[in-house]
């Protein structure tokens, strides 16, 4: 908002109505036009094509591409395997963001305001050590996280059973050679944990940054008013970082609705009884091993629709519970 008076209420705040110099047009063409060509060609155009392909029976390498309307969608929605994959994605989208956000928020709160509450609000000692170490998984490629955990979960040579076997009172017995990823009841929860493990540290650091941005007077005021720690956390910290919560929720939801990398590493074939199969795996197989590109595109459209619905839901909940609308 410079002081330049603009006569008409322009759609854009700055300089909307002025004539643009020719040299500036050249500048804009290079700075905006050039990247946009690449972006539209490799991102937007494929998105649009995918929607069209999803309405065809295209097999990929043949030239025949018949418009078949919504047949692909009918087919995948009556396909038990795809529906199971969709269900698994929904489970992931419910639990991964929820647990990750709660855990990272709690840890961040402990780090930043967990210290003595007499005198100035301060964090714990050694907080930077916790913070640095917790962030480690974020620096590890997702596929490698999957590889590491597929070994940790291994029934006989994995670390998890190697630890749990030694639990006292005969509890340990149960874990002897227990196949975490090979049992239909534990495979999905075990996979959920791996994704959470990979992200908690990152979001913890993000929350720490957000909490540090809260003016400390708010905490002083809350304390003078006699608010306890839990009360302070819920009534001061949480409302102040709610936009970060929303961002984290959406990003984690997108990760959970994709989940391809993790599942491909933990259970490449979809797990026992398809209990860890996700839509993206089904899509990949349908497209690149079965060459049903039309149907695979329909799966992509469903995946995108679910993702958008998830984001819309998060925005709606945030708004209904009193968050500000972000423009």
Residue 56: count other Cβ atoms within 10 Å of its Cβ.
Answer: 20
Query: Quick one: which of 75, 227, 272, 313 contacts another protein (CB under 8 A)?
Result: 227
- Residue 173 in contact with another protein, rule: CB under 8 A: no
Site for another protein in 85-104 (CB under 8 A): 103
Residue 186: count other Cβ atoms within 10 Å of its Cβ.
Answer: 17
Query: Quick one: which of 256, 264, 271, 275 contacts another protein (CB under 8 A)?
Result: 264
Work out the burial of residue 274: count CB atoms within 10 Å of its CB; fewer than 13 is exposed, 13-18 middle, 19 or more buried.
buried
Torsion of CA 314, 316, 320, 323, to 10 degrees: 60
Tell me the site size for another protein, rule CB under 8 A. 132
**Least Cβ distance, residue 221 to another protein (angstroms):** 5
Whole-angstrom distance, CA of residue 174 vs CA of residue 168:
11
Cβ distance 87 to 278 under 8 Å?
A: no
- Residue 186 in contact with another protein, rule: CB under 8 A: no
**Least Cβ distance, residue 207 to another protein (angstroms):** 9
- In the complex with another protein, the residue whose CB is nearer, 275 or 282, is 282
> Per CB under 8 A, which region of 19-27, 74-82, 94-102, 181-189 contacts another protein?
19-27
**Least Cβ distance, residue 235 to another protein (angstroms):** 4
Query: Quick one: which of 59, 79, 260, 272 contacts another protein (CB under 8 A)?
Result: 260
- In the complex with another protein, the residue whose CB is nearer, 161 or 275, is 161
Work out the burial of residue 147: count CB atoms within 10 Å of its CB; fewer than 13 is exposed, 13-18 middle, 19 or more buried.
middle
- Going by C-alpha positions, the residue among 304, 306, 247 that lies closest to residue 92 is 306
- In the complex with another protein, the residue whose CB is nearer, 49 or 174, is 49
Paired residues of 67 in beta bridges? 56
- Going by C-alpha positions, the residue among 264, 312, 305, 313 that lies closest to residue 50 is 305
- Residue 34 in contact with another protein, rule: CB under 8 A: yes
Site for another protein in 136-155 (CB under 8 A): 136-144, 146-152
Query: Quick one: which of 158, 191, 252, 275 contacts another protein (CB under 8 A)?
Result: 158
């Amino acid at each position: 908002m410079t002081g330049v008076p603009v006569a008409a209420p322009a759609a854009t705040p700055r300089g909307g109505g002025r004539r643009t110099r020719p040299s500036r047009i050249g500048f804009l063409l290079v700075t905006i036009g050039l990247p946009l060509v690449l972006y539209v060609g490799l991102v937007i155009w494929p998105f649009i094509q995918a929607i069209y392909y999803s309405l065809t029976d295209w097999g990929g390498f043949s030239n025949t591409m018949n418009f078949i309307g919504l047949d692909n969608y009918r087919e995948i929605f009556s396909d038990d395997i795809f529906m199971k994959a969709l269900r698994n994605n929904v489970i992931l989208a419910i639990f991964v963001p929820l647990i990750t956000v709660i855990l990272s928020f709690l840890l961040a709160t402990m780090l930043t305001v967990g210290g003595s509450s007499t005198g100035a609000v301060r964090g714990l000692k050694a907080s930077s050590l916790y913070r640095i170490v917790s962030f480690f998984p974020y620096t590890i490629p997702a596929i490698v996280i999957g590889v590491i955990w597929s070994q940790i979960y291994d029934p006989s040579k994995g670390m998890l059973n190697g630890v749990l076997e030694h639990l006292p009172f005969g509890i340990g017995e149960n874990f002897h050679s227990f196949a975490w990823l090979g049992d239909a009841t534990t495979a999905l929860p075990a996979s959920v944990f791996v994704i959470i493990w990979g992200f908690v540290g990152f979001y913890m650091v993000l929350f720490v940054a957000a909490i540090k941005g809260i003016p400390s007077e708010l905490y002083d005021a809350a304390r003078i008013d006699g608010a306890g720690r839990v009360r302070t956390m819920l009534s001061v910290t949480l409302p102040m970082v709610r936009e970060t919560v929303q961002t984290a929720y959406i990003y984690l939801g997108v990760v959970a609705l994709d989940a391809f990398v993790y599942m491909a590493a933990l259970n490449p074939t979809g797990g026992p009884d398809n209990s860890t199969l996700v839509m993206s795996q089904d899509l990949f197989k349908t497209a690149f091993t079965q060459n049903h590109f039309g149907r695979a595109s329909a799966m992509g459209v469903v995946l995108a629709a679910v993702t958008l619905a998830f984001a819309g839901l998060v925005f709606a909940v945030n708004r209904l519970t009193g968050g500000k609308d972000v423009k």
